[in-house]
Chains A and B, each alone.
Chain A
Amino acid sequence: AQTVTQSQPEMSVQEAETVTLSCTYDTSESNYYLFWYKQPPSRQMILVIRQEAYKQQNATENRFSVNFQKAAKSFSLKISDSQLGDTAMYFCAFLDPTGNQFYFGTGTSLTVIP
Protein backbone atom coordinates (compact mmCIF):
# COMPACT_ATOMS: atom_id res chain seq x y z
CA ALA A 1 0.00 0.00 0.00
CA GLN A 2 1.05 3.54 -0.66
CA THR A 3 1.63 6.00 2.17
CA VAL A 4 2.09 9.75 2.11
CA THR A 5 3.70 11.61 5.00
CA GLN A 6 3.58 15.31 5.70
CA SER A 7 5.66 15.99 8.78
CA GLN A 8 4.79 19.67 9.19
CA PRO A 9 1.28 20.04 10.67
CA GLU A 10 1.51 23.85 10.71
CA MET A 11 3.67 26.46 9.07
CA SER A 12 3.65 30.21 8.73
CA VAL A 13 5.35 32.62 6.37
CA GLN A 14 5.54 36.36 6.00
CA GLU A 15 3.77 37.83 3.02
CA ALA A 16 6.06 38.02 -0.03
CA GLU A 17 8.47 35.48 1.43
CA THR A 18 9.14 31.93 0.24
CA VAL A 19 8.07 28.79 2.04
CA THR A 20 8.65 25.08 1.39
CA LEU A 21 6.26 22.34 2.42
CA SER A 22 7.62 18.82 2.75
CA CYS A 23 6.16 15.52 1.62
CA THR A 24 7.53 12.01 1.48
CA TYR A 25 5.84 8.92 0.17
CA ASP A 26 6.36 5.21 -0.01
CA THR A 27 5.54 3.05 -2.99
CA SER A 28 6.83 0.11 -4.96
CA GLU A 29 5.40 1.52 -8.16
CA SER A 30 7.69 3.08 -10.74
CA ASN A 31 5.13 5.12 -12.62
CA TYR A 32 2.71 7.32 -10.73
CA TYR A 33 1.54 10.88 -10.23
CA LEU A 34 2.10 13.25 -7.34
CA PHE A 35 0.00 16.26 -6.51
CA TRP A 36 -0.34 19.19 -4.19
CA TYR A 37 -3.88 20.25 -3.38
CA LYS A 38 -4.94 23.39 -1.55
CA GLN A 39 -8.00 23.48 0.71
CA PRO A 40 -8.85 27.02 1.86
CA PRO A 41 -10.95 27.33 5.01
CA SER A 42 -14.49 26.12 4.33
CA ARG A 43 -13.80 25.86 0.64
CA GLN A 44 -13.22 23.01 -1.75
CA MET A 45 -9.97 21.34 -2.69
CA ILE A 46 -8.13 22.94 -5.56
CA LEU A 47 -5.32 21.36 -7.56
CA VAL A 48 -2.13 23.40 -7.18
CA ILE A 49 0.39 21.39 -9.13
CA ARG A 50 1.09 17.85 -10.36
CA GLN A 51 4.17 15.86 -11.27
CA GLU A 52 4.43 12.74 -13.38
CA ALA A 53 7.00 10.36 -11.93
CA TYR A 54 8.52 9.58 -15.30
CA LYS A 55 9.41 13.23 -15.83
CA GLN A 56 12.71 14.34 -14.38
CA GLN A 57 11.95 18.02 -14.78
CA ASN A 58 10.31 19.59 -11.78
CA ALA A 59 6.85 21.01 -12.39
CA THR A 60 6.17 24.71 -12.00
CA GLU A 61 2.94 26.71 -11.99
CA ASN A 62 3.54 30.44 -11.62
CA ARG A 63 4.60 30.98 -7.98
CA PHE A 64 4.39 27.27 -7.18
CA SER A 65 7.13 24.77 -7.91
CA VAL A 66 8.09 21.34 -6.71
CA ASN A 67 11.31 19.58 -5.87
CA PHE A 68 10.76 15.98 -6.93
CA GLN A 69 13.39 13.53 -5.76
CA LYS A 70 12.26 10.13 -7.03
CA ALA A 71 15.02 8.07 -5.45
CA ALA A 72 14.44 9.71 -2.09
CA LYS A 73 10.65 9.55 -2.57
CA SER A 74 10.40 13.20 -1.70
CA PHE A 75 8.05 15.78 -3.19
CA SER A 76 8.23 19.24 -1.65
CA LEU A 77 6.24 22.32 -2.64
CA LYS A 78 7.82 25.75 -2.82
CA ILE A 79 5.61 28.82 -2.74
CA SER A 80 7.35 32.00 -3.79
CA ASP A 81 6.16 35.54 -3.10
CA SER A 82 3.56 34.24 -0.62
CA GLN A 83 0.19 35.97 -0.70
CA LEU A 84 -2.56 36.19 1.90
CA GLY A 85 -4.75 34.07 -0.35
CA ASP A 86 -2.27 31.21 -0.03
CA THR A 87 -3.46 30.65 3.54
CA ALA A 88 -4.95 27.16 3.44
CA MET A 89 -4.43 23.52 4.25
CA TYR A 90 -2.10 21.90 1.74
CA PHE A 91 -2.32 18.21 0.99
CA CYS A 92 0.26 16.11 -0.78
CA ALA A 93 -1.27 13.23 -2.72
CA PHE A 94 -0.12 10.13 -4.58
CA LEU A 95 -2.08 8.63 -7.45
CA ASP A 96 -1.35 5.06 -8.43
CA PRO A 97 -0.75 4.06 -12.08
CA THR A 98 -4.32 2.91 -12.54
CA GLY A 99 -5.44 6.44 -11.75
CA ASN A 100 -8.19 5.07 -9.57
CA GLN A 101 -7.14 5.88 -6.06
CA PHE A 102 -5.59 8.87 -4.37
CA TYR A 103 -3.59 8.58 -1.18
CA PHE A 104 -3.43 11.84 0.75
CA GLY A 105 -1.13 13.03 3.47
CA THR A 106 -2.47 14.52 6.68
CA GLY A 107 -1.92 18.05 5.45
CA THR A 108 0.06 21.14 6.38
CA SER A 109 -1.80 24.21 7.57
CA LEU A 110 -0.11 27.25 6.07
CA THR A 111 -0.73 30.74 7.36
CA VAL A 112 0.54 33.77 5.47
CA ILE A 113 1.17 36.63 7.86
CA PRO A 114 0.64 40.18 6.59
Chain B
Amino acid sequence: DTGVSQDPRHKITKRGQNVTFRCDPISEHNRLYWYRQTLGQGPEFLTYFQNEAQLEKSRLLSDRFSAERPKGSFSTLEIQRTEQGDSAMYLCASSLDPHRYEQYFGPGTRLTVT
Protein backbone atom coordinates (compact mmCIF):
# COMPACT_ATOMS: atom_id res chain seq x y z
CA ASP B 1 0.00 0.00 0.00
CA THR B 2 1.46 3.33 -1.06
CA GLY B 3 -0.64 5.54 1.17
CA VAL B 4 -3.09 8.26 0.25
CA SER B 5 -2.55 9.64 -3.23
CA GLN B 6 -3.93 12.77 -4.84
CA ASP B 7 -4.07 13.89 -8.43
CA PRO B 8 -3.06 16.29 -9.79
CA ARG B 9 -0.38 17.62 -7.50
CA HIS B 10 -0.57 21.06 -9.00
CA LYS B 11 -3.31 22.81 -10.93
CA ILE B 12 -3.27 26.28 -12.43
CA THR B 13 -6.57 27.53 -13.74
CA LYS B 14 -8.16 30.77 -14.81
CA ARG B 15 -10.86 32.38 -12.75
CA GLY B 16 -14.27 31.08 -13.70
CA GLN B 17 -13.09 27.65 -14.82
CA ASN B 18 -14.13 24.39 -13.17
CA VAL B 19 -11.57 22.06 -11.63
CA THR B 20 -11.75 18.54 -10.27
CA PHE B 21 -9.34 16.83 -7.91
CA ARG B 22 -9.08 13.15 -7.12
CA CYS B 23 -8.12 11.40 -3.92
CA ASP B 24 -7.35 7.70 -3.58
CA PRO B 25 -7.35 6.68 0.08
CA ILE B 26 -5.48 3.82 1.63
CA SER B 27 -7.29 0.72 0.50
CA GLU B 28 -10.04 -0.46 2.84
CA HIS B 29 -10.09 2.86 4.70
CA ASN B 30 -13.77 3.61 5.04
CA ARG B 31 -13.43 7.25 6.08
CA LEU B 32 -12.21 9.98 3.76
CA TYR B 33 -11.72 13.64 4.57
CA TRP B 34 -11.08 16.80 2.56
CA TYR B 35 -9.27 19.82 3.99
CA ARG B 36 -8.19 23.16 2.62
CA GLN B 37 -4.91 24.76 3.66
CA THR B 38 -4.09 28.34 2.78
CA LEU B 39 -0.65 29.86 3.12
CA GLY B 40 0.39 30.29 6.73
CA GLN B 41 -2.61 28.45 8.09
CA GLY B 42 -3.39 24.99 9.32
CA PRO B 43 -5.70 22.71 7.38
CA GLU B 44 -9.40 23.53 7.61
CA PHE B 45 -11.99 20.80 7.48
CA LEU B 46 -14.23 20.79 4.41
CA THR B 47 -16.12 17.53 4.41
CA TYR B 48 -15.92 13.84 5.18
CA PHE B 49 -17.31 10.55 3.92
CA GLN B 50 -18.01 7.34 5.68
CA ASN B 51 -17.95 4.82 2.88
CA GLU B 52 -19.95 6.49 0.09
CA ALA B 53 -22.06 8.68 2.38
CA GLN B 54 -21.10 12.31 2.82
CA LEU B 55 -21.87 12.85 6.48
CA GLU B 56 -20.60 16.28 7.31
CA LYS B 57 -19.87 19.50 5.45
CA SER B 58 -18.21 22.64 6.68
CA ARG B 59 -19.71 26.06 6.07
CA LEU B 60 -16.52 26.68 4.06
CA LEU B 61 -17.94 24.35 1.44
CA SER B 62 -19.96 26.81 -0.61
CA ASP B 63 -22.41 25.70 -3.27
CA ARG B 64 -19.60 25.96 -5.83
CA PHE B 65 -17.92 22.99 -4.15
CA SER B 66 -19.10 19.43 -4.48
CA ALA B 67 -17.53 16.20 -3.35
CA GLU B 68 -18.38 12.64 -4.22
CA ARG B 69 -17.25 9.18 -3.27
CA PRO B 70 -19.42 7.06 -5.53
CA LYS B 71 -18.25 3.58 -4.62
CA GLY B 72 -16.77 4.23 -1.24
CA SER B 73 -13.26 4.13 -2.63
CA PHE B 74 -11.77 7.18 -4.37
CA SER B 75 -13.25 10.63 -4.00
CA THR B 76 -13.46 13.71 -6.18
CA LEU B 77 -13.70 17.34 -5.17
CA GLU B 78 -15.02 19.72 -7.80
CA ILE B 79 -14.90 23.48 -7.65
CA GLN B 80 -17.10 25.31 -10.12
CA ARG B 81 -16.55 28.88 -11.31
CA THR B 82 -13.24 29.14 -9.47
CA GLU B 83 -12.33 32.37 -7.73
CA GLN B 84 -8.91 33.67 -6.73
CA GLY B 85 -9.81 33.02 -3.11
CA ASP B 86 -9.99 29.32 -3.91
CA SER B 87 -6.21 29.25 -4.34
CA ALA B 88 -4.98 26.86 -1.67
CA MET B 89 -3.65 23.40 -0.98
CA TYR B 90 -6.43 20.81 -0.92
CA LEU B 91 -5.59 17.88 1.32
CA CYS B 92 -7.20 14.50 1.50
CA ALA B 93 -6.93 12.10 4.43
CA SER B 94 -8.30 8.68 5.19
CA SER B 95 -8.84 6.52 8.24
CA LEU B 96 -10.31 3.19 9.21
CA ASP B 97 -12.91 2.55 11.86
CA PRO B 98 -12.60 2.07 14.77
CA HIS B 99 -9.29 3.94 14.62
CA ARG B 100 -10.85 6.90 12.91
CA TYR B 101 -8.58 9.30 14.78
CA GLU B 102 -5.58 7.98 12.90
CA GLN B 103 -5.93 10.05 9.78
CA TYR B 104 -3.33 9.56 7.05
CA PHE B 105 -2.83 12.52 4.78
CA GLY B 106 -2.08 12.66 1.10
CA PRO B 107 0.45 15.05 -0.49
CA GLY B 108 -2.23 17.53 -1.48
CA THR B 109 -3.25 19.31 -4.66
CA ARG B 110 -2.04 22.88 -4.91
CA LEU B 111 -4.56 25.02 -6.78
CA THR B 112 -3.63 28.39 -8.20
CA VAL B 113 -6.42 30.50 -9.68
CA THR B 114 -5.18 33.32 -11.91
Check if B101 sits within 8 Å of A50, measured CB to CB. Answer: yes
Q: Does B45 contact A (CB under 8 A)?
A: yes
Task: From the candidates A47, A95, A100, A102, name the one contacting B43 in the complex (CB within 8 A).
Answer: A102
A interface with B by C-beta (< 8 Å): 4, 33, 35, 37, 43-47, 50, 91, 93, 95, 99-107
User: A95 with B101: in contact, given A44-B107, A100-B48 (CB under 8 Å)?
Assistant: yes
Q: Does B44 contact A (CB under 8 A)?
A: yes
| In the complex, chain B residues whose CB is within 8 Å of the CB of A104 | 42-44
Among A43, A47, A50, max chain B CB count under 10 A is at A47
Nearest B-chain residue to A107, judged by Cβ: B42
Per DSSP, are chain B's interface residues mostly helix, strand or loop, or mixed?
A: strand
Check if A45 sits within 8 Å of B105, measured CB to CB. Answer: yes
Within 8 A of A (CB), among B98-114: 100-108
Q: Does B62 contact A (CB under 8 A)?
A: no
| In the complex, chain A residues whose CB is within 8 Å of the CB of B56 | 100-101
| In the complex, chain A residues whose CB is within 8 Å of the CB of B48 | 100-101
| In the complex, chain A residues whose CB is within 8 Å of the CB of B93 | 45
Can you list 23 contacts pairing A with B, beta carbon distance less than 8 Å? A33-B101, A35-B101, A37-B105, A44-B4, A44-B106, A45-B43, A45-B93, A47-B102, A47-B103, A50-B102, A91-B43, A93-B42, A95-B101, A99-B101, A100-B56, A101-B48, A101-B56, A102-B35, A102-B43, A102-B103, A105-B42, A106-B41, A107-B42
